[in-house]
């Protein structure tokens, strides 16, 4: 949620920022409700003060007139408080429809075609033979099995087997080893979250609920959702808390499975394990101050680059334009790895800042040295999206004889230098 003071002082800027994200809002109508809420708040506060004065005057034996006035005040106050709550609920609903404002350095653009390539690492991998894609390689080596998964779970699922499964564990170990040395707190988060939390994260108004799997808890009579990334259950870990300045930045690295319906993408990237409904990720989440927010964003991106440089995978860093930013995101960088089997770069990680947008919704603050309470800035970044990272390894490290060399940095975890066919 954006700062309402910003909305009041710069309504046209907020309107334009939403439009730059392809979101239409009616700022004038929101401000009308906001004024009604402010006026009601003043009225309620005056009634409370009047009630307190009357209560003080009634110490001892109250007169019949005081009792009667007290009853009338109580009824009027309850009525006004109920009205105030109703207006707040209406205002909150509209405020939740306003996307986070993009940072000043983010390019205005309608869609991904306007994204900017910031830099590249290594030249695309070249072969003396025609490279295969990850599924052909994975099936030949018996490390990826989508056919069996289709029988069990349907399309867009896959099994990682044999050294494919060990490769996942190796990537997790590498990410945790690098990031815990940087001071990140390792965490295994829940994969189910309450609907209230999903709304607090700010993704509900973006893609809405269409991209999430819902799970109904019949016993507790509530609706829950499977997370789309570990960030979804790590960010709200400090809901309704006030963090200490000395503890910031507070950084977590979480490993979990993630689930997405990928609504609206049927027919796109359905081959293999590139775009599936269930996948595993190692995710970074950071809580910091406004002053250090941009520096922290660069830091998370540098760690993503470090991990792919350790794997020696060619990649490019892409900066998203306004039209390609998520609803709660103010700035985002994607790291796209070169995929020889597809002859193109594909997204493998992202690093995003939500500024104080999510912390306002989830009520996460920190206390300054002057004992002032401020909303934290929340950032997230992908260490490894396991499936896509495995794809990049298989396609970039394939050999003409069908085997796949294991990146040197991972060999100690697998106790092997390559993956070969058992046939």
Residue 101 domain-assigned (yes or no): no
Domain match, 89 and 215 both: no
Q: In 260-314, at which residue ranges do the beta strands (DSSP E only) sit?
A: 278-288
Residue 57 domain-assigned (yes or no): yes
Average of pLDDT values for 386-411? 97
Residue finishing a domain among 49, 67, 95: 95
User: Which of the four pLDDT bands, split at 50, 70 and 90, describes residue 80?
Assistant: very high
Residue listed under structure tokens 């993704």:
203
Q: Is 352 exposed, middle or buried (0-12, 13-18, 19+ CB in 10 A)?
A: buried
Residue listed under structure tokens 């710069």:
10
Computed over every residue of the chain, the mean pLDDT equals 92
Q: Please write the tens of the pLDDT for every residue from 250-263.
A: 999 999 999 998 76
Domain match, 72 and 118 both: no
Domain match, 72 and 123 both: no
Of 398, 141, 142, 145, whose CA–CA distance to 272 is shortest?
145
Residue finishing a domain among 60, 95, 130: 95
Domain match, 286 and 356 both: yes
Residue 262 domain-assigned (yes or no): yes
Check which CATH number belongs to the domain holding 78 and give it: 1.10.287.40
Q: Please write the tens of the pLDDT for every residue from 140-174.
A: 999 999 999 999 999 899 999 999 999 999 999 99
Q: Which domain holds residue 150?
A: 112-419
Specify the number of domains making up the chain: 2
Domain match, 295 and 360 both: yes
Residue 103 domain-assigned (yes or no): no
Domain match, 117 and 245 both: yes
pLDDT at res. 62: 82
Domain match, 76 and 122 both: no
Q: Please write the tens of the pLDDT for every residue from 201-221.
A: 988 776 556 788 888 877 777
Predicted TM-score of the model (pTM): 0.92
Check which CATH number belongs to the domain holding 298 and give it: 3.30.930.10
């Amino acid at each position: 949620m954006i700062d309402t003071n910003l909305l009041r002082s710069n309504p046209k800027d907020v309107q334009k920022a939403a439009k730059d994200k392809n979101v239409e809002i009616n700022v004038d109508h929101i401000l009308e409700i906001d004024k009604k809420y402010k006026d009601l708040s003043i009225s309620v506060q005056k009634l409370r003060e009047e009630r307190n004065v009357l209560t003080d005057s009634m110490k001892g034996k109250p007169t019949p007139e005081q009792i009667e006035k007290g009853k009338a005040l109580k009824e009027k106050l309850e009525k006004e408080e109920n009205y105030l709550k109703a207006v707040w609920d209406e205002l909150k609903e509209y405020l939740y429809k306003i996307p986070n404002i993009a940072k000043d350095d983010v390019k205005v653009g309608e869609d991904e075609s306007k994204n900017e390539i910031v830099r590249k690492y290594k030249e695309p991998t070249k072969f003396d033979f025609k490279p295969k894609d990850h599924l052909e390689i994975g099936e030949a080596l018996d490390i990826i099995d989508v056919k069996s998964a289709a029988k069990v779970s349907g399309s867009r699922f896959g099994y990682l087997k044999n050294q494919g499964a060990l490769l996942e564990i190796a990537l997790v170990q590498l990410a945790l080893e690098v990031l815990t040395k940087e001071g990140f707190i390792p965490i295994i988060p829940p994969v189910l979250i309450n609907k209230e939390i999903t709304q607090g994260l700010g993704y509900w108004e973006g893609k809405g609920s269409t991209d999430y799997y819902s799970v109904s808890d019949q016993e507790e009579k509530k609706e829950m959702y499977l997370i789309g990334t570990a960030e979804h259950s790590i960010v709200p870990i400090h809901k309704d808390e006030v963090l200490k300045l000395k503890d910031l930045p507070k950084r977590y690295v979480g490993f979990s499975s993630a689930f997405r319906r990928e609504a609206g993408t049927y027919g796109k990237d359905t081959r293999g394990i590139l775009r599936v409904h269930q996948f595993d990720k190692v995710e970074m989440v950071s809580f910091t101050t406004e002053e250090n927010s941009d520096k922290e964003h660069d830091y998370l991106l540098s760690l993503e680059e470090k991990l792919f440089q350790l794997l020696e995978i060619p990649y490019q860093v892409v900066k998203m334009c306004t039209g390609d930013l998520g609803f709660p995101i103010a700035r985002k960088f994607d790291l796209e790895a070169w995929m020889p089997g597809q002859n193109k770069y594909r997204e493998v990680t992202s690093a995003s800042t939500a500024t104080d947008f999510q912390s306002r919704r989830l009520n996460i603050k920190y206390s300054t040295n002057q004992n002032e309470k401020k909303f934290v800035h929340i950032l997230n970044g992908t260490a490894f999206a396991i499936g896509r990272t495995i794809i990049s390894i298989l396609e970039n490290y394939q050999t003409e004889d069908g085997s796949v060399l294991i990146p040197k940095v991972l060999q100690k975890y697998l106790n092997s230098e390559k993956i070969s066919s058992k046939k």
